[in-house]
Amino acid sequence: MIRKPTSRLLLAPTVLVAGAMAVTACSAGDSNTGSAGNEPTAIEGGTLTIYTTAEDMSFDPATSQSLAITSLGLNARRLTAWSVSPDATTEVIPDLATDTGTPSDDGKTWTFTLKDDLAFEDGTPITSEAVKYGLERSFATELSGGLTYHKAVLEGAEDYAGPFDGKHLDSIETPDDKTIVFHLNRAYGDFPWVASTPAFAPVPLDSGDPASYAQAPVASGPYSVSSYKAGNEIVMTKNPEWDPATDEARAGGPDEIVFKLAQDSSVVAQSLIADREDSKNSFLATFVPPAQLVQAQNDPKVGDRLVTSGPGALEYLALNTESEQLQDPQVREAIEYAVDKTAYLTAKGGEISGDYATTLITPGIAGREDFSLYGDDPAGDVEKAKELLAEANATDLNLRLVIRDDQVAAAEAIQQGLAKADIEVTIQTLDSAAWSAEIPAGDGTGYDLTLSSWQPDIPAASANIQPLFASDQIGNGNYNLARYSNPDVDAAIEAALSITDADEANAAWVEIDKQILADAPVVPLVYSRNSFLHGSGVTNFEIGEFPAYPNYLTVTLGE
């Protein structure tokens, strides 16, 4: 998975680019199944191997962007965690805390109480002060790159530079060893989700050199990092101080977990397809490459060991609303009708690659509502598009579609679909770094259209909407790629962020979803489906409705 560095967004979800993970669970042949059907009986113990293309991994919660259910979650607990299921939306649950937080002061203050008998791997008690210190470390300039949700909402955070000079953040109070109180600069209903992000993991005050903590963290979860060889492997062994009775989120099944780094995904996939002896107790943490995916689909010996997601991350076409040719909403509506999503999905690999998208809030998010403002035919409505363009007196459009160099087939599908409505599209390809400089960080003058993909880091509708459509997220490396600015939408986003009642908040976000799409700043294309492979000795390999990743915390071995 590839993540972009995040600025101090109110929310800072994941930008997905080619090769990034995006799955919600079902087996390859049955979209109603959330795990690999005929599995071996789960056992305690053994060594689970996880193959990854990454050359390095950070276990420092201050710098990590790891989701709550992936790598860092094996080592570091947080105040809250996620309960994921293939059959239900993800719920926030207590982790180190006794509950998911108690709001007061109309949602501007949140209080958590730690569970009894929590300890680090060396037996030192986990206290509220250790949680506070872990958060404070994330503000240090030498520990940049982590998720930034908390930095935008904690009172006084904008002037804080970390604890290494002896200063502390007064908006985090620890009145006793088990109580931690957060004072926010605004009411914020999603704070229980924020408390599940990496920075909310406890770190001992005597943790030593912050530069080396990423490779030698002090465990609060079921696994300790016992050896770390960059570019080679990371070995994790059972933490004897972890108490499963206090942990609803983690199974802690294998005795040992080994991450094999810098792997060739095609080579690993071939080994898993063959179910070789040295691959039986392993899985590939990245998507199955296209050639091996076809091979696995056609190999009856693979069967349910190929796990293909349900609909996940949103892939979309962004329409630059500042472009002279796209300022008229009627022109943008015409493009909504003209895009051929069937051609786009075919270019992506067909039905196994995604479901057609019509909304901005992704599947698996609580409160999400299905609707379609621009017809029900994914192939589009060319005649309706031409009619709208004629009414807008826009019959000579020539649009510049700027893409990354791994998106050519998808871009050509967009180009061919728009051509049917007499909209000419010129494709320009850039490498990933150049695309980032030109589109998220640029001034908006270099493109009319661009393709992108988005999966939030927390299962909240706010994480779908705010980063992509709030006007303060235009430029400067942020991801309002449509450069969309609507004061009414900005006000609605601010109001929804402050709602602490979940049902009320969900309803507000659905209305914002509809409000934005009525302005047609983006064309929702597909919700990505992606495929993973594991060996025959792996069981409990589940991928919930959200997030679109395997749940590392519950994978066990079987016989």
What are the tens digits of pLDDT across the range 415-430?
Answer: 999 999 999 999 999 9
Over range 7-22, report the average pLDDT. 38
Strand 256-260 versus strand 47-51 pairing type: parallel
Q: What's the CATH number where 177 sits?
A: 3.40.190.10
Q: What angle separates helix 487-497 from helix 502-519, to the nearest 10 degrees? A: 160
DSSP readout, 256-280?
EEEEEPS--HHHHHHHHHHT-GGGT
**Is 108 in the same domain as 210?**
yes
Residue 23 is assigned to a structural domain of this protein: no
125 backbone φψ class: left, alpha, beta (φ>0; ψ -120 to 50): beta
Write out pLDDT tens, residues 53-98. Answer: 999 999 999 999 999 999 999 999 999 999 998 888 899 999 999 9
In the Cβ-directed half-sphere of 302, how many Cα atoms lie within 13 Å?
A: 26
Over range 381-410, report the average pLDDT. 96
CA distance 229 to 215: 9
**Is 202 in the same domain as 329?**
no
Kindly report which listed range (31-45, 100-114, 155-169, 353-367) carries the lowest average pLDDT score.
31-45
**Is 337 in the same domain as 448?**
yes
Over range 21-30, report the average pLDDT. 30
**Is 208 in the same domain as 83?**
yes
Residue whose tokens read 């939306």: 89
**Is 456 in the same domain as 335?**
yes
DSSP conformation class of 198: G
Report whether 55 contacts 230 (CB < 8 A).
Answer: yes
**Is 243 in the same domain as 340?**
no
Residue 116 is assigned to a structural domain of this protein: yes
φ and ψ of 164, to 5 deg: -75, -10
Q: Could you tell me the pLDDT band of residue 311, with boundaries at 50, 70 and 90?
A: confident
CB atoms under 10 Å from CB of 301, counted, come to: 10
Write out pLDDT tens, residues 206-240. Answer: 988 888 999 999 999 999 999 999 999 999 999 99
Residue 91 is assigned to a structural domain of this protein: yes
DSSP conformation class of 200: G
Tally of domains in the chain: 2
Task: Enumerate the β-bridge partners of residue 113.
Answer: 179
DSSP conformation class of 255: S
- Say whether pLDDT at 35 is over 80: no
Mean pLDDT of the chain: 91
The pLDDT of residue 38: 62
Q: Among 258, 289, 305, give the residue marking a domain's end.
A: 258
φ and ψ of 342, to 5 deg: -65, -40
**Is 236 in the same domain as 319?**
no
**Is 212 in the same domain as 98?**
yes
Alpha helices in 170-253 (DSSP H): 191-194
CA distance 411 to 401: 8
**Is 225 in the same domain as 324?**
no
The pLDDT of residue 1: 30
- Say whether pLDDT at 43 is over 50: yes
Grouping H, G, I as helix, E, B as strand and the rest as coil, residue 469 is helix
Q: What's the CATH number where 434 sits?
A: 3.10.105.10
- Say whether pLDDT at 166 is over 80: yes
Q: Give the torsion through C-alpha atoms of 284, 80, 363, 416, to 10 deg.
A: -60
The pLDDT of residue 208: 82
Q: Which domain holds residue 144?
A: 54-258
Residue 302 is assigned to a structural domain of this protein: no
pLDDT exceeding 90 applies to what percent of the chain? 80
